[in-house]
């Protein structure tokens, strides 16, 4: 997997060399700082140069690197719509649904079950926002990338009913990022949340 990841990153960096960062910046919700593109992810700025090198005050981990460069080099860039779809509604999502459920939604639901208040804390930690139009105990929107917002809806267990958690995506997400990168991004988020939960009080 590390070899595959490295090869994919090399391809993305080759694509980056052909990108006009100043031109693409406003299309993807970024800004230029000097000759580098600044993109905000979960409240933190990441600076990317023309060679695909990434710098940030945060630790740079693979689940951030690949989706970030894939987002910049994606052939289309669409505005956020405010309309939400499930993962299976994304083109190719039905084939990926089982893996997405087992790697993303199910482990995040268990984390929320075992760590009351965790999802609420994510709002403050990662510049999220709550919504009140979806019937759930917690419904929050996070922005892993400026034009790839996700909506996490969690219903706590009650009497004989098990808990439920669903991750939704703005309709623009699959137009701004390939489904494989969307999966990588969400899987990485859940792994990061799990590490946060280890220190959650």
Encode pLDDT of 151-185 as tens digits: 999 999 988 899 999 999 999 999 999 999 999 99
| Final residue of a structural domain among 11, 43, 73 | 73
Statement: the pTM of the whole predicted model exceeds 0.75: yes
- pLDDT value at position 2? 58
In terms of domains, do 147 and 67 share one?
no
Higher pLDDT, 45 or 8: 45
Asked whether residue 79 is assigned to any structural domain, the reply reads: no
Looking at the structure of the chain, the number of domains it has is: 2
Q: What is the pLDDT of residues 44-73, one digit of tens each?
A: 999 999 999 999 887 667 678 899 999 999
Contacts within 8 Å (CB) and 24+ apart, 191-194: 191/63, 192/61, 192/63, 193/108, 193/111, 193/118, 193/122, 194/107, 194/111
Per the structure, the complete domain to which residue 173 belongs is given by 84-198
Task: State whether 59 and 101 are in the same domain.
Answer: no
The pLDDT tens digits for 84-130 are: 999 999 999 999 999 999 999 999 999 999 998 888 888 888 988 99
The confidence score (pLDDT) of residue 3 equals: 52
Between 20 and 62, the more confident residue is 20
Q: Are 54 and 62 in contact (CB under 8 A)?
A: no
% of the chain exceeding 90 in pLDDT: 74
pLDDT beyond 90 at 33: yes
CA 98 to centroid of chain Cα atoms: 18
Q: Which residue has the tokens 């996070």?
A: 142
Report the pLDDT value the prediction gives residue 200, as an integer from 0 to 100. Answer: 60
Confidence of residue 144 (pLDDT cuts 50, 70, 90): very high
- In this structure, are 41 and 18 located in the same domain? yes
Instruction: With CA atoms as reference, report the closest residue to 148 among 36, 16, 29.
Output: 29
Which of the listed residues 73, 104, 119 is the one where a domain comes to its end?
73
Q: Say what the pLDDT of residue 4 is.
A: 62
């Amino acid at each position: 997997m590390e070899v595959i990841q490295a090869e994919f990153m090399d391809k993305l960096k080759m694509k980056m060399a052909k990108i006009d960062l100043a031109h693409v910046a406003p299309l993807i919700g970024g800004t230029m700082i000097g000759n580098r593109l600044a993109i905000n992810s979960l409240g933190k700025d990441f600076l990317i140069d023309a060679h695909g090198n990434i710098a940030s005050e945060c630790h740079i981990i693979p689940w951030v690197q690949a989706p970030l460069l894939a987002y910049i080099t994606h052939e289309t860039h669409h505005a956020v719509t405010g309309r939400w779809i499930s993962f299976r509604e994304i083109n190719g999502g039905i084939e990926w649904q089982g893996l997405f459920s087992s790697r993303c939604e199910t482990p995040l639901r268990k984390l929320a079950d075992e760590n009351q208040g965790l999802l609420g804390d994510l709002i403050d930690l990662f510049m999220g926002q709550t919504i009140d139009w979806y019937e759930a105990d917690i419904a929050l929107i996070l922005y892993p990338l400026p034009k790839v917002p996700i909506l996490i809806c969690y219903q706590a267990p009650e009497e004989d009913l098990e808990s439920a958690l669903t991750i939704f995506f703005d309709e623009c997400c699959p137009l701004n990022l390939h489904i494989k990168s969307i999966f990588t991004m969400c899987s990485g988020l859940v792994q990061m949340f799990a590490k946060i939960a280890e220190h959650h009080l």
